[in-house]
Structure 1
Amino acid sequence: MPAIKMTSHLYRFFPHLKGRTLTAPPGSVAEVLHTLNEVAPGFTDYVLDDRGAVRRHVKLSINNTVVLDRKALTDRVGENDTLFIFQALSGG
């Protein structure tokens, strides 16, 4: 099963995910995020906008490749892949 990993500061919003091994069945990025949302309700609300596209402050990659389809999330996450979820930090 594909693994799901995220930057550590996302655990501030979803502390029950910290220290867990997160996996999902192979499929599109949308399907993998939906599976994660079942474990952590509200997760997709945090990383996706009201149209279901990736929010501006979030970056996704599959292994070492940036997810190209940020609107429909059709990039495929294979059996041995890892979906990385990065939240950008900003401030001044």
Structure 2
Amino acid sequence: MHRPSENLRRRVSWTVDLQQQKGRFVPRVSFTANLQRHVDCSAAVVAGATVREALEAVFQERPSLRSYLLDDQQALRQHVMIFIDGRLLIDRTQLSDPVEPESEIYIMQALSGG
């Protein structure tokens, strides 16, 4: 697996233009505005072949996000939903759903109240 340079790994918010210049694409992880109000989680372009791998790359740069999205068993919290290219995540426990290099992983928090 090709690893980005140390400088690039520090910058999770790479632009798609940069990825095109390198001749490859990687999944993009996006968060709803509601999540962004509570946790530092701007969109990130990261390496990963599964949702778990992509999230681990995000957590390297934003460790506090892990406990907000995952429970103590490292499964997706009940109030969090993930979509991969518009399809709902199937494996909420292992997060093993595959992602393509051009995939969009969209993470949102379920809202309730009145």
State whether TM-score is above 0.5: yes
For structure 1, the 5+ residue unaligned runs are none
TM-score normalised by L of structure 1: 0.88
Distance across 1 between alignment mates of 2:61 and 2:111? 24
SS in structure 2 of the partner of residue 51 of structure 1? coil
Q: How many angstroms does 1:8 deviate by?
A: 0.4
Partner of 2:88 in structure 1? 66
Q: How many angstroms does 1:14 deviate by?
A: 2.6
Partner of 2:103 in structure 1? 81
Distance across 2 between alignment mates of 1:13 and 1:36? 16
Deviations 1:16-56 (A, max 9, x none): x44xx411113111111111111211111101110011111
Q: Does the alignment pair 1:11 with 2:36?
A: yes
Q: Mean Cα displacement is larger for which, 76-85 or 21-30?
A: 21-30
Q: How many angstroms does 1:12 deviate by?
A: 1.9
Instruction: Tell me if structure 2 keeps the 8 A contact 1:14–1:40.
Output: no
Tell me which of the two structures has the higher relative contact order, counting C-alpha pairs closer than 8 angstroms and 6 or more residues apart. Answer: 1
Deviations 1:39-80 (A, max 9, x none): 211111101110011111000010111110000110011100
Taking only aligned residues, the RMSD between alpha carbons, in angstroms, comes to 1.3
Distance across 1 between alignment mates of 2:82 and 2:74? 14
Structure with max Cα Rg:
2
SS in structure 1 of the partner of residue 36 of structure 2? helix
For structure 2, the 5+ residue unaligned runs are 1-25
Distance across 2 between alignment mates of 1:31 and 1:44? 13
Count how many residue pairs are aligned between Structure 1 and Structure 2. 89
Q: How many angstroms does 1:13 deviate by?
A: 2.6
SS in structure 1 of the partner of residue 105 of structure 2? strand
Partner of 2:9 in structure 1? none
